[in-house]
């Protein structure tokens, strides 16, 4: 079935790039219906958009003809995804506060579909506390937010605030459209839990990662031997899920690529479920770019050279099992040397001896910035506590044994500080 998006274009200089975005989406077979705010019409005409979308372009809330034919509530719900691109500081502020004073903002308030906002504005407007506060609130409301690009601005200034390239926006739209139609991740939680999440200020990092994309892998991978057997390991995924929860709480857009685990998705986290190492690598690469990637998964180092469609039968001769193993791709090392390398790359190392030495060696080998080394000789795998050492080029930091949730909070705090320092 054709996927449909509703593209709301608000009035910034980057609005002209929305035309290219429409072209790219149509090329991918996605139907686009467009809405222009009044100020967007200073940059883009309904005529050019209408030609590209091959559809009527909507501009007015009180247009009797439009309203009779389709109605704004219907318009807001006939799409699989609602996109605001470019999203100006003004429309973000209205969205964050539930203001509905024109067609675009009314649709955004009336929709029951996922919303993606792609901000574009002057660098100072982006960094303004009011904008950051609005983004934090929108994130908590479940709006997907893309991080603007850095670079020269139309106004002559330089910094963060440029609309991401239409190709990158189209890729993000495809990714969101491909996600399973997840019910509201907070819907099955009691109201008090929902409120606690929305209004909690317990973390020092609350809001520190707004506008950042954090990519996390977690859990084991399963490598099939045949249709009924697989190679696995004892990773529970708890540490990776706790880190994803802490990153979301800090305001980040979080993509969690999870191997087969029995854990609920933390609120506000976009989860991609995979089974094998190769699927995990593909999902990780599809989720790029990221400001930070934290690779917590216990990826199987080997897979079978061949996994037949039929169950392998024993032949009763007492010969060794007919299992040839080949090496899996190293996801962390692939990211460490990737053209689209995350700004901050963090790996985990599960060791049973010479922990710090091995972690130092892994840092260099994998091209990571930090290695979080943990001693797995006890019951770390599956347990609720973890004693870690953070190995960086600058040295080694040892943390006492902490619950996995506290390790997650501390790590996310450290990530937030590092990203802030890198941005300065």
Active-site residue, selected from the candidate residues 154, 155, 198, 420: 155
Q: Is 155 a catalytic residue?
A: yes
Please pick, from the candidates 24, 104, 146, 332, the single residue that binds ligand CTP as defined by CB under 6 A: 332
Among 86, 114, 207, 347, binds ligand CTP (CB under 6 A): 347
DSSP string, 208-258: TTTT-EEEEEESB--EEEETTEEE-----SHHHHHHHHHHHHTT-EEEEEE
The rounded distance, in Å, linking the Cα atoms of 412 and 296 is 13
Nearer to ligand CTP (CB atom), residue 25 or residue 299: 299
Beta carbon nearer to ligand CTP, 33 or 362: 362
Q: With respect to ligand CTP, which residue has the nearer C-beta, 165 or 273?
A: 273
Among 153, 252, 299, 355, binds ligand CTP (CB under 6 A): 299
Q: Quickly count: other Cβ atoms within 10 Å of residue 311's Cβ.
A: 10
Least separation in angstroms between residue 292's CB and ligand CTP is 13
Instruction: Give me the least distance between CB of 302 and ligand CTP, in Å please.
Output: 9
- Tokens 């995990």 belong to 280
Among the residue ranges 122-130, 190-198, 330-338, 387-395, the one whose residues contact ligand CTP (CB under 6 A):
330-338
Burial environment of residue 261 by CB neighbours within 10 A (0 to 12, 13 to 18, 19 or more): middle
Q: Check the annotation: does 306 bind a ligand.
A: no
Q: Which phi and psi angles does 385 have, rounded to 5°?
A: -125, 160
Which three-class secondary structure state does DSSP give residue 339? coil
Q: Which is nearer to ligand CTP, 210 or 215 (CB)?
A: 215
According to the annotation, is 342 in a ligand binding site? no
328 part of the interface to ligand CTP, by CB under 6 A: yes
Please report which helix (H) or strand (E) contains residue 392, including its range. Answer: strand 388-392
Count of positions on this chain that bind ligand CTP (CB under 6 A): 15
Planar angle of CA 212, 214, 215, nearest 5 degrees: 150
- Name the phi and psi angles at 209, rounded to 5: -115, 20
Residues annotated as catalytic (active site), given as ranges: 155
Q: Which residues of this protein are in contact with ligand CTP, per CB under 6 A?
A: 217, 277, 295, 297, 299, 301, 328, 330-332, 347-350, 362
Residues in binding site: 301, 311, 329-332, 348, 362, 366
Residues in binding site for CTP: 301, 311, 329-332, 348, 362, 366
């Amino acid at each position: 079935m054709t996927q449909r998006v509703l593209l709301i274009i608000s009035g910034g200089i980057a609005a002209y790039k929305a035309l290219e975005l429409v072209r790219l989406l149509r090329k991918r077979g996605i139907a686009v219906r467009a809405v222009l705010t009044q100020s967007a019409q200073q940059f883009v005409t309904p005529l050019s958009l209408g030609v590209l979308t091959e559809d009527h372009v909507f501009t007015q809330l009180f247009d009797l003809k439009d309203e009779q034919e389709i109605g704004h509530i219907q318009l807001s719900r006939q799409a699989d995804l609602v996109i605001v691109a470019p999203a100006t500081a003004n429309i973000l502020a209205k969205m964050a506060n539930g203001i509905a004073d024109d067609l675009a903002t009314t649709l955004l308030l009336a929709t029951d579909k996922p919303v993606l906002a792609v901000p574009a504005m002057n660098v100072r407007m982006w960094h303004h506390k009011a904008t950051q506060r609005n983004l934090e609130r929108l994130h908590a409301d479940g709006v997907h937010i893309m991080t603007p690009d850095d670079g020269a601005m139309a106004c002559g200034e330089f910094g963060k605030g440029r609309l991401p390239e239409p190709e990158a926006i189209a890729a993000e739209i495809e990714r969101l459209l491909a996600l399973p139609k997840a019910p509201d991740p907070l819907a099955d939680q009691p109201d008090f839990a929902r409120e606690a999440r929305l209004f909690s200020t317990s973390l020092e990092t609350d809001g520190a990662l707004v506008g950042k994309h954090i990519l996390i892998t977690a859990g084991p991978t399963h490598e099939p031997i045949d249709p009924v057997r697989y190679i696995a390991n004892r990773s529970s995924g708890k540490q990776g899920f706790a880190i994803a929860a802490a990153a979301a709480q800090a305001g980040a857009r979080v993509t969690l690529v999870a191997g087969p685990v029995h854990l609920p998705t933390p609120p506000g986290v976009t989860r991609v479920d995979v089974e094998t190492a190769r699927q995990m690598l593909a999902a990780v690469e599809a989720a790029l770019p990221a400001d930070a990637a934290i690779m917590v998964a216990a990826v199987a180092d080997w897979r079978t050279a061949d996994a037949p469609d039929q169950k392998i039968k024993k032949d009763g001769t007492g010969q060794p099992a007919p299992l040839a193993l080949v090496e899996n791709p190293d996801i962390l090392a692939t990211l460490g040397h990737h053209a689209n390398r995350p700004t901050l790359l963090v790996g985990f190392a599960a060791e049973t001896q010479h922990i710090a030495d091995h972690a130092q060696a892994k840092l260099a080998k994998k091209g990571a910035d930090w290695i979080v080394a943990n001693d797995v000789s006890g019951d770390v795998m599956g347990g609720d506590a973890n004693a870690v050492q953070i190995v960086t080029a600058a040295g080694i930091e040892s943390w006492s044994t902490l619950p996995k949730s506290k390790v997650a909070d501390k790590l996310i705090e450290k990530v937030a500080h590092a990203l802030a320092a890198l941005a300065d």
